[in-house]
Chain A
C-alpha cells in the first residue's frame, strides 16, 4: 500500500488580462496537463497544483484551480489507463485508488509578520494544501515556531537567504510541519546542482528523513521522474535510507495530505457537520452512518478521477451505472442461481459494512442471464437427483435391490435423450456423490450432505455443490408426514449424534418413490427435456426466490445456509410439479406451507452455528477495519460507538500501544 504523490506541479496561469496573456496561459496549461499526464503514467496516485503567491492575500486569491477532467487527460494520452495500471503494478501501488488532484498555495513570506499573519486566514482553507516559503531568517524561524501551514517549502535553487537551524527544524517537526525538497532544479540545471545538494543534504541530515517530502516542481514534462528514481536520487545524493526516501514520496505525503484535509474539512480537526435532508435521515439512518465507514481521508473531492479499474469500463459499451454504496438490493443478491452460492458467501463475508452487504457488480448481468442459467441448472440438478439415488441405496443394499437397477435405466434413458457429454457429466456426478456418501456413511446421508453443503460451499466445484443440494432436496421430496422426522434428523445433525434407525429405514422407503418418479419422467422424455428446461421452472423458481428474499430480509444474513436448501428444494418440488402436470396449486401450497416451516426450524437450529461463524468473521474483519482506521486519528468516535461498541473499546487501547513503540 504505497501510494506515491507529487505535491508540486506549478500552476503558473494568471488571471487573463489581454489576448497575449491568454495564449500564454494556454501554453502553460498545456505544459501542466502534460506533466500531470506523465505523472499519472508513471504511477503516481496524486498531484497537487502549486500556485506561487507573493504579497497580501485578498478575496480575489481564492482557489480557482480547476482540476483536469478525465477526458482531457485521456485526450493527451490515449493509452493512459493501461500505462498507469502497468506502472502501478510494477510499483506495488493499488490499482483501486483513484488519481487525485489537489490544490496548493505557496506563499512567500518576507518577514516574521507576514509569516504569522497567515494564521487563521479563511482564504487559505480554500486550498487543500498551504505552503510557506520563507525568504529571510525571521520568517523561517517564525514559520517553524508558530505558523499554521502544512509545508515549509525552500527554494534550494538559489542560495538560501537564511541559515537552517537545528532547533527550529526540530520544533517544526514536533509541530507536524513538513519540509519540501524539489528535485526538478537538480535535474534541470548543471550549475544549480552544487547549490542544491549542499543545503538539501543538510536538511535531510537534520530531519533524518522525518517529515520530509520530495516533489518535482516540474514545469515541463521532462522534469517529472518515476517514484523509485526519485527515491534513488535521495538515497544516493542526500544519504537517506531507502525506507525513509520511499516514505518521503509516499507515506509522508499521505499523512500530510490527510492532516491538511482534516484541517480543511473538519471543525477543530474532528467534527464535521453535514446537512442531511430530514426525509433522508428518517429513511436510512443506519446507512448514513455507514457512510462514515467509507470516509476517505485522502479524497480531494471533485479532483478525484475514477480509479484505474473503472476507467476502461467507463468507455466500454457494456458499462453499467455504478451502484451507490448505500443501496441494498436483497432480491438481486438472492436471486442469483443457488450454485453461485459459494461466491455469494464470499461476498457477504468480504463486505466491510456488515449491516449492508454491498451489491456485487455482476448481478445485473446475472439477472439478465437468469432464465438461461436456471434452465441449465435445472437440468443438472435433475441429473444429480438421479445420480443421488443409487448412492443412497447402495448403503442399504439388502432392503431394495430391485430399485438399484432402475436408476441405471433412467441414467441410460436420459443419456439417450440428451447428448453424450451430459452422460459423462452424470457419471462424474455419480463418482463425486459416491465419494461424499462413503465418507459420511455413519450418518444420515441427506442430513450430513446438507450440512456439508453449507460448510464447504467455499469450494467452487459446481458438481459437488449440486450433489449436496440435491441431496438436501431429496429430503423434502418425501411425503409431508416424513418431514417431521427429517426435521428430527436435522435436529441431530447439528450435534452429530445421528443414526436413528427409524429415520434411516423410512428414508430408504421413500427412495423407491423418488425412483418411480424418475421412471415416469423417462416415459415422458420429450416433455421433460423441453418444458422443464426452458419455460415453467424458471418462472416458478423466480416466484419462489421472491419469497425467499422476503424471508431473508427478516432473517438477516444468517440465512446463508437455508437459502441454498430452499432453492434446492424449490427446484425439485417444482420438478415434481411438472411431473404431476397441473398440480401446480397443490405444490405451491406445499411450498409455502411445509417446506418453509421446515426450513424455519432448520434456521433456528443452525442459527447458532452460523452466528458464531459470522461473529468470528466479523471480529476478524473488524480488526482489519480497525487498523485501517487507525491512520485517521480524529475519527468521529462517538458515532462509532453507536453501533459498534467492541471496536470502540479496542480503539481506546491501541493508541497506548502505539505510544510505547514511539
Chain B
C-alpha cells in the first residue's frame, strides 16, 4: 500500500488589463471560489468528466491573496500534471482574461509554505513599486494577515 501523496503548487495569476480595473476590483475577481471554479471548468473542458472526477479527490485551492495574486493549489500527485496543464490552458477567470504561472511545485506543505512566503515577499515589493503613490493604507495589515494565513496552513 503506497501512501497517498499530494503536490502543492504555488502559482501566480496575471490579470489582463489590470490598470483598467479600478480600486478593489481584483479582489472581486479573485476569490478562491472563482479560481477553483475556473480550474475545474478547464479540467472538464480539456479532460472530460472522468478527468475531473479523478482529480477532484484532493483538488483544493488552499490559499489566495488578491493583492499579490498568489495562490496555493493542492492536487494529488497522480494527477498533478493534468491539473497543471489544465491550469496552463486557462484563459480567463469569470469574464476577465487571466493567466496562471507556476512559481513553485513542492511535495509537502512545509516546503510549500517557505516557498510561498518567499514569493509573497517578493511580489509584495513589486506591488509597492508598481503601485507607486496611490497605495492604500491598510495594505500592510492585509499582507500580515495573509502571511499569518500561510503560516497556519495544514496539509
Binds B, one of A152-160, A228-236, A589-597: A228-236
Q: Determine which residue in B45, B91, B122, B126 has the highest number of CB atoms from chain A within 10 A of its CB, and name it.
A: B126
User: A232-B81, A233-B85 in contact; A190/B103 too (CB < 8 A)?
Assistant: no
Q: Which B residues from 94 to 153 make CB contacts under 8 A with A? A: 97-104, 119, 122-123, 125-127, 129-130, 132
Q: With an 8 A cutoff between CB atoms, is B25 at the interface?
A: no
Q: Which of B66-114 contact A (CB under 8 A)?
A: 81-82, 84-85, 88-89, 91, 97-104
Q: Determine whether B14 belongs to the interface, using a CB cutoff of 8 Å to chain A.
A: yes
- Given the complex of chains A and B, what is the CA–CA distance between A229 and B99 in angstroms? 11
Determine whether the beta carbon of B126 is less than 8 Å from that of A82: yes
> How far in angstroms is the closest Cβ of chain A from B112?
14
- With a cutoff of 8 Å between Cβ atoms, the chain A residues found around residue B101 in the complex are 42, 87, 225-226, 229
Q: Could you give 6 example pairs across A and B, Cβ below 8 Å? A: A79-B130, A82-B125, A221-B16, A225-B99, A229-B88, A237-B85
Determine if B16 and A222 form an interchain contact, defined as CB atoms under 8 angstroms apart.
yes
- How many angstroms from the CA of A235 to the CA of B82 in the assembled complex? 10
B-side contacts of A38, CB under 8 Å: 14
A-side residues, CB < 8 A to B, are 38, 42, 77-79, 82-83, 86-87, 90, 186-188, 190, 193, 221-222, 224-226, 228-230, 232-233, 235-237
Q: Give every chain A residue within 8 A of B123 (Cβ-Cβ).
A: 86
Known: A78-B132, A87-B101, A229-B84. 7 other contacts (CB 8 A): A38-B14, A82-B125, A90-B119, A187-B89, A232-B85, A232-B88, A236-B82
Residues of A within 8 A of B130 (CB): 77-79
List residues of chain A with CB within 8 A of the CB of B132. Answer: 78
Contact of B103 among A90, A225, A236 (CB under 8 A): A90
**What residues of chain A lie closer than 8 Å to B102, measured between beta carbons?**
226, 228-229, 232
**Least Cβ distance of A484 to chain B in Å?**
62
Q: Mark B44-84, 1 if CB is under 8 A from A, else 0.
A: 01100000000000000000000000000000000001101
CB distance from A533 to the nearest CB of B (A): 41
Are B16 and A236 touching (Cβ within 8 A)?
no
Find chain B residues with CB under 8 A from A235 CB.
Answer: 81
Partner of B91, one of A42, A188, A226, A233: A188
- Could you tell me the distance in whole angstroms from the C-beta of A134 to the nearest C-beta in chain B? 28
Complex Cα gap A187–B85 (Å): 10
A229 touching B100, Cβ below 8 Å: yes
Q: Which B residues are CB-close (under 8 A) to A190?
A: 45
- Measured between beta carbons, the chain B residues less than 8 angstroms from A226 are 101-102
Q: Across the interface, which residues of B come within 8 angstroms of A236, CB to CB? A: 81-82, 84-85
User: What is the bound-complex CA distance between A87 and B14, given in angstroms?
Assistant: 13
CB distance from A315 to the nearest CB of B (A): 12
B39 to A: closest C-beta gap in Å: 14
| Measured CA separation A365–B132 after assembly (Å) | 31
The answer to whether residues A222 and B126 also contact, given A78-B132, A187-B88, A232-B84 and a CB cut-off of 8 A, is no
A417 CB to nearest B CB, Å: 47
B129/A187 in contact, CB under 8 A? no
Contacting pair A79 B88 (CB below 8 A)? no
With both chains docked as a complex, state the minimum distance between the C-beta of B138 and any C-beta of chain A, in angstroms: 21
The CA of A228 and the CA of B101, in the complex, are separated in Å by: 8
Q: How far is the CB of B155 from chain A (nearest CB, A)?
A: 24
Chain A residues whose CB sits within 8 angstroms of the CB of B122 once the complex forms: 82, 86
Residues of A within 8 A of B119 (CB): 86, 90
Chain A residues within an 8 Å CB radius of B125 = 82
- A186–B89 contact, CB under 8 A? yes
Alpha-carbon separation in the docked complex, A236 to B46 (Å):
12
**How far, in Å, is A240 (CB) from chain B's closest CB?**
12
**B86 to nearest A CB, angstroms?**
9
Q: Taking each of A38, A83, A230, which has the highest tally of chain B beta carbons within 10 Å of its own beta carbon? A: A83
Is B88 touching A225 in the complex (CB atoms < 8 A)?
yes
Across-interface contacts of B104 in A (CB, < 8 A): 90
Digit string of B2-35 for contact with A (CB within 8 Å is 1, else 0)?
Answer: 0000000000001010000000000000000000
Complex: A242 Cα to B120 Cα, angstroms:
28
Task: Give the chain B neighbours of A222 by CB distance below 8 A.
Answer: 16, 91, 97-99
**What 3 pairs between A and B have smallest CB-CB spacing?**
A226-B101, A79-B126, A79-B129
**Closest Cβ–Cβ distance, residue B53 to chain A (whole Å):** 18
- Report which of A82, A186, A224, A233 forms a contact with B129, defined as CB distance below 8 A: A82
Bound: A233/B85 CA distance, A: 6
- Bound form: Cα–Cα A222–B91 in Å: 7
Instruction: Name the B residues within 8 Å of A230 (CB-CB).
Output: 88
Q: Closest residue of chain A to B84, judged by CB?
A: A232
Question: In the complex, which residues of chain B have a beta carbon less than 8 angstroms from the beta carbon of A232?
Answer: 81, 84-85, 88, 102
On chain B, the residues within 8 Å of A79 by CB distance are: 126-127, 129-130
> Which A residues are CB-close (under 8 A) to B16?
221-222
Distance, CA A187 to CA B129, complexed state (A): 31
In the complex, what's the smallest C-beta–C-beta distance from B135 to chain A, in angstroms?
13
Q: Please indicate the chain A residues that have their CB under 8 angstroms from the CB of B14 in the complex.
A: 38, 221
Q: How far is the CB of B37 from chain A (nearest CB, A)?
A: 17
Q: Is the CB of A83 within 8 A of B126?
A: yes
Q: How far is the CA of A221 from the CA of B92 in the complex (A)?
A: 12
Note all chain B residues with C-beta closer than 8 A to A186: 89
- CB of B62 to closest CB in A, whole Å: 19
A388 to B125 CA separation, bound complex (whole angstroms):
50
A34 and chain B: residue at smallest CB distance: B16
Contact check, A86 vs B91: say whether CB atoms are below 8 A apart: no
Whole-angstrom distance between the Cβ of A430 and the nearest chain B Cβ: 44
Residues from chain A with Cβ under 8 Å of B99 in the complex: 222, 224-225
Tell me, in angstroms, the Cα distance from A235 to B102 when the chains sit together: 15
Rounded to whole Å, the gap between the CB of B118 and the closest CB of chain A is 9
Chain B residues with Cβ below 8 Å from A224 are 99
User: How far apart are B27's CB and chain A's nearest CB, in angstroms?
Assistant: 20
Q: Considering the chains assembled together, what is the distance between the CA atoms of A82 and B89 in angstroms?
A: 26
Question: What CA separation (Å) do A232 and B75 show in the bound complex?
Answer: 15
In the bound complex, CA of A225 to CA of B86 (Å)? 13
Q: Which residue of A lies closest to B115 (CB)?
A: A90
- List the A side residues contacting B103 at CB < 8 Å: 90
